[in-house]
Amino acid sequence: MVFLLAWVVRADKVFNVRAFGAVANNKADCSKAFLNAWKEACAWNGISTVLVPKGTYLVGKPTEFIGPCKGFMNFRLEGVLKAPTSLSGFADTWLKFGYLDGLMVNGGGTLDGQGRSAWQPCTPKCKILPANLRFDFVKNAKVEQIHSVDSKNIHINLYGCQNMNLSSLTIVAPGDSINTDGIHTGDSTFIYIEHSKIGTGDDCISFSTGSKNIYVTDIICGPGHGISIGSLGATHDEDSVTGLIIKDSTFFGTDNGVRIKTWASSVDNFVQNITFLHLSMNNVRNPIIIDQEYCPAKNCDNKSPSRVQIKDGPLLPRLR
């Protein structure tokens, strides 16, 4: 794994969201002001910073910061962003960055998804709930020193991303919250996740199909379900999971430590070159578990075995 970016960002121009009408009173919807600031910053031919100063801002609509942009983008969040409690108008995402090459998200601020009202058990099918933060087709990016609190669903979701570093994050939701994975990756490669504290009601970190060449280190996980690969083998168009290193991390009071889960009666697929190294478990029910008859609903077809192969030896950790 090679991470090529040198993270020295000096803005050519700062776009303060307050100059575009954002008001830090936790009442006025600031989504339009944020988008207008992003639009002008994205068109600037240089290094741009969208600045969210200290204060509490309501972002009441799904808000997408989309590229490509003319230069490197820095989204500096120093304040608190609050999602509405209502789900009206929302699908699977609250805040999204997409189609960008060269991005930094930092500033020490907080994303508050106000998810408590959305965590009620539902039958027979749950409504799609919004993630706090999503990255789609983003490459050469860094996310650091951000707090994510009480997301209605996954806290940070990566899809189709390449060459990203996520570090010094704090991700928090109650242990009884539903589907609040801390960080989830799919179809993404060369991802570093490090030096972070994650405690939720689901997986601290989860890796779905197409997750490749991922390095996880110095994570404090708990409460939650641990760090999971899968579930795999559900559909014919799935990609494999290969080249994951999970090391030097601690688990407190989790259901599992590290886990690989595949469906029984599954399609052909494989998990390859997985390394678990120097992991500390405290009050963990299943420190290491490989479950090839994964069935959370207890009504699955287990008549035939899983056809997902788990193969080949671990990768040697890369010394950084």
**Residues annotated as catalytic (active site), given as ranges:** 225
Residue 117 in 3-state DSSP? Answer: helix
Give which of 26, 87, 28, 27 is closest to 62, Cα–Cα.
87
Burial environment of residue 122 by CB neighbours within 10 A (0 to 12, 13 to 18, 19 or more): exposed
Quick check: 257 and 288 in contact, CB under 8 A? yes
DSSP H helices in the chain: 31-43
Residue 36 in 3-state DSSP? Answer: helix
Bridge partners (DSSP) of residue 141 are 103, 164
Quick check: 13 and 50 in contact, CB under 8 A? no
Bond prior to 249 in cis (omega within 30° of 0) = no
> How far apart, in whole angstroms, are the C-alpha atoms of residue 302 and residue 284?
27
> How far apart, in whole angstroms, are the C-alpha atoms of residue 283 and residue 175?
15
**How many other C-beta atoms can be found within 10 angstroms of the C-beta atom of residue 198?**
27
> How far apart, in whole angstroms, are the C-alpha atoms of residue 2 and residue 152?
34
Pairing of strands 156-159, 110-112: unpaired
Residue that is written with structure tokens 């959305």 in the block = 118
Question: End-to-end distance of the chain based on CA atoms, in angstroms?
Answer: 10
> How far apart, in whole angstroms, are the C-alpha atoms of residue 303 and residue 7?
52
- Assigned token pair, 8: 């020295």
Handedness of CA 64, 66, 70, 71 (dihedral sign): positive
